[in-house]
Amino acid sequence: MDVHRSRAECMNRLGDIFEKNGDLLNALELWEMARPLFERSSQTTQIQAIDEQMSRVGKDVKEHYQKNLARLTELSVPAGKVDEVHEEDEEDEIELELDKAEVERVVV
């Protein structure tokens, strides 16, 4: 039990560090990995705290991506036009020519 708890605490703290540095996706990933370890070690207070963190940060991440999607629709980037498509040459068929002497050496 102590091993699970120690690993979970480490992941939880690393998630906190990632959050403070603005890397919310890695923070969420670490908290998601820590949660079942806290469950195995019966740390209900920690489970509740992680759930609250993931909920709060998850909302921030969702809002961030929604803003980015809205910005994408505002961009007016000209679409490129493809003038010509070059197909790769099909592999040339390789014809094997057997030497007549080789064919005759087949043992019957």
| DSSP secondary structure string for all residues of 38-72 | HHHTT-HHHHHHHHHHHHHHHHHHHHHHHHHHHHH
Pick the CATH number of 2-73 from 1.10.10, 1.20.58, 1.10.150, 1.10.3470: 1.20.58
What is the percentage of the chain residues whose pLDDT exceeds 70? 69
pTM for this one?
0.56
**Cα–Cα distance for residue pair 47/102, rounded to 1 Å:** 76
14-26 pLDDT tens trace:
999 998 998 888 8
Reduced to 3 states (helix: H, G, I; strand: E, B; else coil), residue 19 is helix
**Cα–Cα distance for residue pair 102/96, rounded to 1 Å:** 12
51-66 pLDDT tens trace:
888 888 878 777 777 7
**Cα–Cα distance for residue pair 96/108, rounded to 1 Å:** 22
